[in-house]
């Protein structure tokens, strides 16, 4: 398992549109399980409802973990996506 911390800098936090795009990205990595969480809770990133239930606000540090498949490449892609969210 590989993991990394990443800060969400989007001023509006993680809302429905970017969460949906993140879920689509994660589901494209067959054979990998991606989990995202905050200090108290970690959820499967393939579920939009679970992601939105975290209530991720701007400036939140997220823990991203990947298990299976090409872990480092998946981790890098997911972290880059989160850092690129601007709205």
CA distances 66 to 10, 14, 78, Å, are: 23, 20, 9
Q: Which of 7, 15, 17, 73 is catalytic?
A: 15
Structure tokens belonging to residue 87: 């709205």
71 is catalytic: no
Q: How far apart are CA 36 and CA 3, in angstroms?
A: 10
Q: List the catalytic residues.
A: 15
């Amino acid at each position: 398992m590989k993991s990394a911390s990443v800060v969400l800098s989007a001023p509006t936090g993680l809302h429905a549109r970017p969460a949906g795009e993140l879920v689509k990205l994660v589901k494209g990595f067959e054979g990998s399980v991606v989990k995202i969480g905050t200090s108290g809770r970690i959820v499967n990133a393939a579920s939009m409802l679970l992601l939105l239930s975290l209530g991720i606000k701007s400036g939140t540090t997220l823990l991203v973990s990947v298990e299976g498949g090409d872990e480092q490449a998946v981790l890098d892609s997911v972290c880059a996506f989160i850092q690129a969210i601007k709205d």
